[in-house]
Amino acid sequence: MTERLALLGGPRSVTLPVDDTWPVIGQAEIDAVVALMRRGQISIGDGSGPIGELEAAFARTTGAAYALMHNSGTSALHAAFYGVGVGPGDEVLVPSYTWHATAGAVVAANGVPIFCESDPRTLNLDADDAAGRITPRTKAIAVVHMWGNVADMEGVLALARARGLAVVEDCSHAHGATWRGRHVGTIGDAGAFSLQGSKVLVAGEGGMLITNRTEVYDRALVLGSHGRIQYHAHDVAIRELTTGLGFKYRPHPLGAAIALAQFERLDAYNAGRRGNYEYLMAGLRDLPALRVTETPEGGVRGGYYGTRLRYDSRKLVGISRGTLLKALRAEGVPCDIERYPLLHLTPYYRHRQRAYDGYPAPVASAAYPTDPYAPGDLPATEAFHEQLLALPVLTEPQAPLLDQIIAAFHKVMTGVNVEELRDAQERGDPVLDAGV
C-alpha cells in the first residue's frame, strides 16, 4: 500500500540529513595561506608563486597553451571577449539562460549581447537558433556549459567556421568537462573558469582564462594584468604597455594558494559528483513527467555546479510545478525552482543597454522581433525555464540519501497520491498556501 503524502499528513520519505556543505577547506589550504602570509606575499604582480603554479597546472591538465589567472570568473570572461577582439558595437550571440556575467562581460568589452534560445534537451545554446540571429555586426559566439553539461560544440564550431566568428566558452560550471577528449575551454578560441567559493574548484574568489592563441593571451594580459605584461607578452608592442589598460584583474595569491591545494582533489570531487548525479538520474528516468538533461555525443560532464530536471505538468494532468514542489519539500526533498533569471527579460537588457551605455541597439527585424525584448521573444527557452526543478549537488557518496530522494519523487508522482495531490490543488487545500 502506498504511504500517504507527507503534505497531507503521511510520513516523510527523506529522513537522512542532506550534507551538501561546500567548500571543503583542509589543513593543506590553511598551511599554504599561512606560509604566504608569514613571508609577506599577500600581493604578487608578476604572476609568480602560487599564481604561476596554478596557471601551469591548468595548462598542463587542459592541454591549453596558455593560462592566465584573474581575480574572478567575470574578469576572465571580460579578458576572453576582449582577447578575441570584441569591441564597440560588436554583437555577441549569448544564451539568455545563463548567469549575468556571461552577457555582462560582453558589455564590459563594449559589445552588444544578442540573446539566443537554448535547447531544452541540454539547456545549452541552440546553434540553429543562433545562426538565424547573425548580422554583419556579429563578432563572436558565447557558449556556456550549463551546470557542467557540455554544449553542442559540433554545431557551434560549424557555425563559427562558416561565418568567421570567434568562440568564447564560459566554463564556470564545468571544470574537468570534456568533449571528444578535449577539455572545455580549449575547444573554442578562449575559455573562462570561475574559481568562486561555490564552484568545484575554489579560490574564494578567482578566475582562469585559457587559450591556445598567442594574440588572445597577449590581449588578455594588457587588459588587466599590470605587473607582468612586460615579462609575459609575446608581441613587443604590447610588452611596452606595461601599465595595461587600467583594469586591475590580478588575482590574490592567497586565493591562488587555496585553489592550488584544491586542484589536486578536482578529479576526486568530479568523480564523487558524477557518481551521485548518475545514480540519482538513473532512479528518476522512469518517471514520465520528468525530463533528464541530455549530454551531447562525445561529451563528459564536469564541475556539476547544479542539478536540473524539467517537469512536464501535462504528464500529471495539470499538477502545477508549485504544487509539486510543495509536495516534494514536505517529503524532505531539498528542491526549488530555477534561480537564474532569463537575461533578455531583466530590466537592463529589456532596454537593450540603450539607457545605460549609449551603444547602438539592434533595430527591430526578423532576428529581433521586438525592441525592447519582451516575453515571447525566446519561446523555447521561456517554456523550459518554467519547468525547471533545482536539486542540490552532492560530492561525497550518499546512496542511502539518494534512495530516499528517489523514493520521494516516486511517492509524489505515481499512483493514487497523484490523484490526492490533484484533488488538494483543485479544492485549494490550505496546505498548499505556503510559498515555493
* Domain positions in the chain: 27-265
The predicted model gives 76-96 an average pLDDT of: 96
Percent of the chain residues past pLDDT 70, beyond the cut: 94
pLDDT at 430: 83
pLDDT at 356: 46
Q: What are 310's strand-pairing partners?
A: 291, 388
pTM score of the predicted model: 0.94
The predicted model gives 344-369 an average pLDDT of: 60
Confidence of residue 274 (pLDDT cuts 50, 70, 90): very high
pLDDT at 241: 87
CATH architecture of 27-265: 3-Layer(aba) Sandwich (3.40)
Cell 530555477 identifies what position? Answer: 338
- 108-145: pLDDT as tens digits: 999 999 999 999 999 999 999 999 999 999 999 999 99
Residue 2 pLDDT > 90, yes or no? no
Q: Rounded distance, CA 173 to CA 195, Å?
A: 10
pLDDT at 244: 83
The predicted model gives 337-363 an average pLDDT of: 72
